[in-house]
Amino acid sequence: MRNKRKPFFYKEEKKRGGAIGIVLIVIAVFFIWASAVPIVRQLIFPPLYPLLTYVKSWVIPVVPPISKDFLSQTIYEVPDLPPAEVIFAESLEELQSAQEAQAEGEAFGSHTDEDGSAAISALDSLTTTPTAAIQWVFVKPTSDPSDAAASAGGDRDLSAAYLTLPTVERADLFNDGPTALSAVLRYLGHTTNQYAIQRSLRPRYAEPPVSLDELVAYAAENHPELTAIRRVNGTVDQLAALLEAEIPVVVPILFEAPFPARRGDDRLTRRFAVLYGYDAAAGTVAVRDGSGADRTNVPIAEFMEKWYAFSREYAVLFHSEKTDAIAAALGEDWEPERNLERAIEKFRTDVANLPKNIYTQLNLMRAIEEKGDDREAAVVFRAAANFPLPQRITEFVPSFYKILFNAGFADELIAWTEYGLKLNTEDVRALIWKGWGALLKNDTETAKSLFEKALDHAPGNEDVLYALKYVTDYR
């Protein structure tokens, strides 16, 4: 009934606060439910995450450092870092044993250059947390409809081959690496999925993607019955020979993200895929990745170009009875030292022929650093810094922070790690290396604070434990 004390034309305003509250509760319940259902989560969160970071970049701008601004920076003295065996020794007997092992070359030592500054090889040994329990559903292998490809004559016995690869799961956020590795492990008869691998390598959901080295280390540690190897500077002939030996290949390829993750994003990123087919007559390869795509007719030239951005590195897993076949397929590259030598020779030639191609510079820098020549790696970096670097630089060069540290470029290292933390606040690696940058500047308190913060993010991470032990006992 109308209130007689109010004008005839007066209308009560409807209270909408309750309706808005109900909508917000429904949205919250939906996201909680979606986060617990893998299929829904895989569809929603990977595209949602860059949208959220893009909106955030309007509030907190994310601008990569300009390396030219650091050409005249102070170069700090790099401390001699003891090997992990010495850092973690709990008694004099253990310490003596570790030092003897180091003297005999059995421990992983640090590389020392001509003026006595040491590399941080001790930090290279990543020991991940124990394998977590398998979660959610496992994907059952399915037949590949193209496994009946015909073969013809050629330089090799094989001109076309398509392996029967299990279904590649749709990757969750930043999970293209674990997804690719999961497919290969299931191909080899193991029961696993992307989440079992993710929980060991990157326990926090939004942690940055893992490297191929980390995937290989995970396979070696958790599947000792398999041999897991990584090589660089791969060729078409090697890929064809590996497929002939019925071995799928995990490769990183250059990918342009469909949506920017922030203002000014170059959208260039890495995506791990599984190479499972090759057709010499058609000049194509077949790859699958965690996006749900199954591309059976990728032109070899296109594939090789996108693969080159990541040193054409690749990983294979195999049982011991395949060792001879794999060794024959790789030829000189079977020996890792020789593979690295050949890669450096190739990348030097590439730099000479294409000096303005940023990927030739980055590939050479990465290979030289991997060999242990930190000084030359820093020189190559300064040459590469004349060109715009990829914004997701640590995906292209996982050892990028380490190169800056070993060169004594503390200011530049801190600038890049701060940028990395703006990109992703869950980036434990950036947090650790920012601490090492502070340590180069003799800011022990800041370094310790950063290491402790990293420990809160990643309890049990041996890189963090090493850093804390060092700053506590050796500074």
Which CATH number do you get for residue 185? 3.90.70.10
| Tens-place pLDDT, residues 431-449 | 999 999 999 999 999 999 9
Q: Which domain covers residue 231, as residue numbers?
A: 160-334
Residue 325 shares a structural domain with residue 291? yes
Residue 389 shares a structural domain with residue 326? no
Residue with token string 């060794």: 327
Number of domains in the chain: 3
Residue 45 counted as domain residue = yes
Residue 71 shares a structural domain with residue 30? no
Residue 113 shares a structural domain with residue 215? no
Residue 72 shares a structural domain with residue 27? no
* pTM higher than 0.95: no
Q: Return the pLDDT at 242.
A: 98
Q: Return the pLDDT at 292.
A: 79
Residue 388 shares a structural domain with residue 423? yes
Q: Return the pLDDT at 93.
A: 57
Residue 344 · residue 368 · CB < 8 Å: yes
Residue 133 counted as domain residue = no
The two three-digit tokens of residue 126, written as one number: 């990543």
Residue 107 counted as domain residue = yes
Q: Return the pLDDT at 132.
A: 30
Half-sphere exposure of 13 (CA within 13 A, CB side): 3
Residue 461 shares a structural domain with residue 419? yes
Residue 320 shares a structural domain with residue 263? yes
Residue 396 shares a structural domain with residue 298? no
Q: Return the pLDDT at 217.
A: 97
The stretches in the chain having pLDDT less than 50 are 105-157
Residue 308 shares a structural domain with residue 382? no
- Please identify, among 58, 75, 91, the residue that sits at the C-terminal boundary of a domain: 58
The two three-digit tokens of residue 214, written as one number: 């980390």
Q: Are strands 314-318 and 227-231 parallel, antiparallel or unpaired?
A: antiparallel
Q: Return the pLDDT at 276.
A: 97
Q: Return the pLDDT at 455.
A: 94
Residue 301 shares a structural domain with residue 196? yes
Residue 346 counted as domain residue = no
- Please identify, among 334, 367, 387, the residue that sits at the C-terminal boundary of a domain: 334
Q: Return the pLDDT at 475.
A: 79
Kindly report the CATH number assigned to the domain that includes residue 124.
1.25.40.10
Residue 152 counted as domain residue = no
The closest of 309, 274, 268 to 293, measured between CA atoms, is 274
Residue 405 counted as domain residue = yes
Residue 146 counted as domain residue = no
- Return the exposure string of 193-223: e unless at least 16 CB atoms fall within 10 Å of the residue's CB, then b: bbbbbbbbbbbeeebbbbbbbbbbbbbeebb
Residue 151 counted as domain residue = no
Residue 193 shares a structural domain with residue 248? yes
